[in-house]
Amino acid sequence: MSTSRYPKYKDSGVQWLREVPDHWLVGKIHSFAKKESGHTPSRQHPEYWENCTIPWFTLADVWQIRSDNVKYVHETKELVSELGLANSSARLLPAGTVILSRTASVGYSAIMGREMATTQDFVNWICYPQCRPEFLLYVLRGMRTEFQRLMMGSTHQTLYMPDIAKLAMSLPPVDEQSTIVRFLDRETDKIDALIAEQEKLLTLLAEKHQATILRAVTRGLNCDVRMKNSGVVWLGQVPVHWVVCTLRRVLFRIEQGWSPECINRPADGLEWGVLKAGCLNGGVFNPVENKALPETLDPVAALEVLHGDLLMSRASGSPKLVGSVAYVSEPPPRLMLSDKIFRLHPMGWVLPRFLAAALNSVPLRLQIEASISGAEGLANNLPQSSLKDFWIAIPPEQEQEDIAAFIETETTKLNTLKNEVERVIALLSERRSAVIAAAVTGKIDVRNAVSQELAA
């Protein structure tokens, strides 16, 4: 990549732009593109939701653009009717319209690849002739820090329309926009390919982690041990001296917590907090995933989470997260169980650290997923009665200790590799953002780089 500075700059008068090339225009985005907001037709009129044929981009579609490597969107999860649009402030927008998510998943952007409408969660721009949609898209992706600044101090992650109306950009001539877009397409494709390779490595590490746990909790650490048929399809062959039984024999008590109406932020200082089901995602206890208990409510001390506890998520919006288990080590004080979490009390002959690993293994996951009710996005629940009927293989106590220690050691090694890969991904993502921001604000002159590419 051969780039340089422009020969002459001027002060843009805009904080995030700073100096821009002298021949570039500076102005509000709505000076270069017509701003449109989306809307949702009234649900109180069923006739607005009949004969729906028009693509309607909603928050359910944001997943398509979260990676920032999707430029055009063509499909939507929902459709809206012509009658619904006619009776709302939303309207059908042309292909080439640039969309920006302004609530919940703030700052993600794309270009409509076909005519569609959006909800009020998006702000949309129809570019005037002097502004290429692809260039505006890169501008929006280059001003992520500006979006973060505007959201500061807000309880809800939202970009408000008055702030959006003030958003400014710099605009080079159309042919230069095309050059910058070509440059960024090429450079971001290179970075995205590197990120994709690192993400593949993360997948391989996760598979290695799961395979390590699976072998240890179903085969043990002795490769020469005699095996027997467990009689359970989920478990297959297990060491001959292990006990195969249901969790009914393993657990002498299952507690469930309390979920009062809490403040939507983590507990701070001397406050009590109520844990969210997400505190157990990935089989790792995350105490930050809690909501503060209001001062008007008295805490239930008996529900406080303690060192050595074994916790399991009972319910979640995603079936994949139901049944996540974590062993708790030295938690902060004043955190209570919610009613979406089980506290499992194993018999004295079962080590909680071993049981945590076994419950997170593939055989138990299969049983959990076969037992929960509901579907993706709904309330998925794991009944205690089903949990007690899950089959498991338990080795002698010393072997449980050895297996738990082995899994912890291997997990530490794999997590070290995982953290390094994630660090590389973060650096590549930062590089991607920096290149975009530099190009769309004129901090680098990419015209020569593109000319060299075309001449090659």
Cβ atoms of 118 and 85 within 8 Å: the answer is no
> Sheet of 109-112: strands edge to edge?
33-37, 122-127, 98-101, 109-112, 72-73
Q: Where are the beta strands (DSSP E) in 29-157?
A: 33-37, 54-57, 72-73, 78-80, 98-101, 109-112, 117-118, 122-127
Cα 425 from Cα 433, distance rounded (Å): 12
Residue 153's pLDDT is what? Answer: 47
User: What is the phi/psi pair of residue 133, to 5°?
Assistant: -55, -40
Cα 425 from Cα 195, distance rounded (Å): 6
Place of tokens 């390779």: 197
Q: Which residues of the chain have pLDDT under 70?
A: 1-3, 152-156, 373-379, 450-456
Find the helix or strand (DSSP H, E) in which 454 lies: helix 447-455
- Strand bridging mode 315-316 / 380-381: antiparallel
DSSP state of 280: G
Residue 1's pLDDT is what? Answer: 54
What would the pLDDT profile of 218-272 be if each residue is shown by its tens digit? 999 999 999 999 999 989 999 999 999 999 999 999 999 999 999 999 999 889 9
Nearest to 42 by CA among 3, 81, 14, 7: 81
Cβ atoms of 87 and 47 within 8 Å: the answer is no
Q: At what angle do helices 447-455 and 174-219 cross, to 10 degrees?
A: 80
* Residue 128 tokens, joined: 């005037």
Cα 426 from Cα 416, distance rounded (Å): 15
The pTM of this model reads 0.82
Cα 280 from Cα 368, distance rounded (Å): 15
